[in-house]
Amino acid sequence: MKGNLIITPENVQAFERSMDMLDNSIKEMQRVAHDMMPETLVNFGLDTALKDFCDTINQGGALSITYQSIDMQQVVVNQTTAITIYRIVQELVNNIIKHASARSALVQLSNEHNTINITVEDDGKGFNKELLNPARGIGWSNILNRVDFLNGKADIVSEPGKGTSVNIGLQYTPG
């Protein structure tokens, strides 16, 4: 196959132009992905970014949220993992604000044996898990896709009237 390729000067030029375009597309994609990263996540890491996020929610006054982290300060995960975890917590907290009518919530992250455990709990009205249907909202299917992407496990305990507790475990490769 390779032997049959005739590389004319025009082909070389077209090839180089394509490579330049591809290069630009990759740079553009990286720029967009980077722009979507919260500043604190890039500069100070996951633990601080999540603490900041919870602080901001508290300032809003609609929900009193406690952030706890255990052994997270020294966790070094790659940026994709960090942004994925950040987005999961963000969606879970947004759901509490939107749907739970909760007074308080807890966001807890702990790190043990290269596994990050995420717990997000509220004392709101709870719900029937049948509502976690992509036909109703894409929030939960996004969370589950993200958990799958990181080869993790998610567990929800919720009953009408009894609040909601979500636990997610993600193994990570340090670095």
Point out which residues bind ligand ATP (CB under 6 A): 95-96, 98-100, 122, 124-125, 127, 131-132, 136-140, 164
Residue 48 beta carbon to ligand ATP: minimum distance, rounded to whole angstroms: 25
Residue 166 near residue 155, CB atoms below 8 Å: yes
In eight-state DSSP terms, residue 125 is -
Closer to Mg ion by CB, 42 or 131: give it. 131
Residue with Cβ nearer ligand ATP (99 or 153): 99
For the bound state, the minimum distance from the C-beta of residue 55 to ligand ATP, rounded and expressed in Å, comes to 20
Cβ atoms 84, 47 nearer than 8 A: no
Angstrom distance (rounded) from CA 138 to CA 109: 24
Using the minimum distance from each CB to ligand ATP, give the nearer residue, 79 or 104. Answer: 104
What amino acid is encoded at 72 in this protein? Answer: M
Q: Which does 132 bind (CB under 5 to 8 A by kind): ligand ATP, Mg ion, none?
A: ligand ATP
Other beta carbons less than 10 A from residue 46's beta carbon: 24
Q: Token digits for 58? A: 């508290």
Give the one entry of ligand ATP, Mg ion, none that residue 67 binds, where binding means its C-beta sits below a cut-off of 5 to 8 angstroms depending on kind: none
Q: Return the number of the residue (77 or 102) whose C-beta is nearest Mg ion.
A: 102
Query: Residue 111's Cα: distance from chain center in Å?
Result: 16
- By a kind-dependent CB cut-off of 5 to 8 A, residue 121 interacts, out of ligand ATP, Mg ion, none, with none
Q: Which long-range contacts (CB under 8 A, 24 or more apart) does 40-44 make?
A: 41/82, 41/83, 41/86, 42/79
* Residue 139 touches Mg ion, criterion: CB under 5 A: yes
Q: Confirm or reject binding of residue 95 to Mg ion (CB under 5 A).
A: yes
Which residues contact Mg ion (rule: CB under 5 A)?
95, 137, 139
